[in-house]
Amino acid sequence: MKALILTSGGPMAARIVNAWIAGGNAVSALWVGQKMQRRAFHEDRVLGLAAPSWSVTALARRYRIPIETHPKLSAWKDADTALERLNADVLITAMTLDIIPRSILSRFEGRAVNFHPALLPHYRGPSPRIGMILDDTASLHGGMTLHCLSPEIDRGDIVGSRTVPYDGAQGFIDWDVRLARAAGDLVEHELARYLRGGGGPDPPTPWLGELQKDGQGRGYAPRAFSGEDEVALRPSRRVRLGAAEGGRRGLQAASCLKLPT
């Protein structure tokens, strides 16, 4: 099978690419949004100098996979032409802020999946790991979920998941690496089985976590936002962060890890 992979790079996307190719599949192209390319892929290239098999750009060079930028998908008039040219069988998204429009989802007929770094249905949306750490729930909801893409964000049927709790003693980079390995394992097993027709996905379960209470006793779920380096924890309080999900310092630290090449 051939996959089109939408990503902003990093260890998790690299392990997905590795596992997908190791399973005898091919990658038609790697798509990255125009706004994400310069920042995210610069950091990915730095990581590739220390650990090539953990870098999307290094893997793209090794396997001659084209990296293509795209405008906002919902406004891209030439999206159909680009998809026809690539002729991909499967759509995979991993660590990207792109929202896939219905017109693209319909082309893949149930063969469009996303990797989300939290145990859904908890912590839907962008930057779930920061939200879990700041809410002190990362040991409970930390993990990797493979689910079908749907028009609603992170609400598609669940194909598989791995529990990967956060260990404060080991830190964020260790967690990032373990989540990446979990994503690769999901590609090797659950995704391969699902695409072969060996088992359907599970319907998403309702939110069963502990909702926070506001001043009037109304329940609401914590939400983390990316784009700006600001995370909303409570309606009345905001916390500034150095950079979303670890940032450049995290990638520099990752280069010191003993990662397989």
How much is the pLDDT for 200?
61
Whole-number pLDDT of residue 229: 26
**In the predicted structure, residue 236 carries a pLDDT above the cut 50:** no
The pLDDT of residue 224: 31
Please report the pLDDT score of residue 201 as a whole number: 64
Cis peptide before 121 (omega within 30 of 0): yes
pLDDT higher than 50, residue 217: no
Residue 65 is assigned to a structural domain of this protein: yes
How far apart, in whole angstroms, are the C-alpha atoms of residue 55 and residue 73? Answer: 24
Is 33 among the domain residues?
Answer: yes
Mean of pLDDT values over 171-190:
94
Give the pLDDT score at 44: 86
Domain of residue 52: give its range: 2-254
In a domain, 259, yes or no: no
Q: Is 211 inside any structural domain?
A: yes
- 260 in any annotated domain: no
Q: Tens of pLDDT along 99-136?
A: 899 999 999 988 999 999 999 999 998 889 999 999 99
SS3 category, 182: helix
Report yes or no: 147 and 204 within 8 Å, Cβ to Cβ.
yes
Question: Quick check: is 170 in a domain?
Answer: yes
C-alpha 234, offset from chain centre = 25
For residue 82, the surrounding DSSP H or E stretch is: helix 79-86
- Grouping H, G, I as helix, E, B as strand and the rest as coil, residue 85 is helix
SS (H, E, C) 190-230: HHHHHHCCCCCCECCCCCCCCCEECCCCCEECCCCCCCCCE
The closest of 185, 176, 142 to 54, measured between CA atoms, is 176
pTM of the model: 0.76
Residues 30-87 have pLDDT tens digits of 998 876 556 667 788 888 888 899 999 999 999 999 999 888 888 888 988 999 999 9
Which whole-number Å values give the CA distances from 52 to 10, 14, 67, in the listed order?
11, 9, 16
Average pLDDT of every residue of the chain: 78
Q: What is the CATH number of the domain that holds 38?
A: 3.40.50.170
| Domain count across the chain | 1
Check: CB of residue 250 under 8 Å from CB of residue 176: yes
Say whether pLDDT at 180 is over 50. yes
Domain presence at residue 92: yes
In a domain, 112, yes or no: yes
What is the predicted pLDDT for the residue at 202?
59
The pLDDT > 90 percentage for the chain reads 52
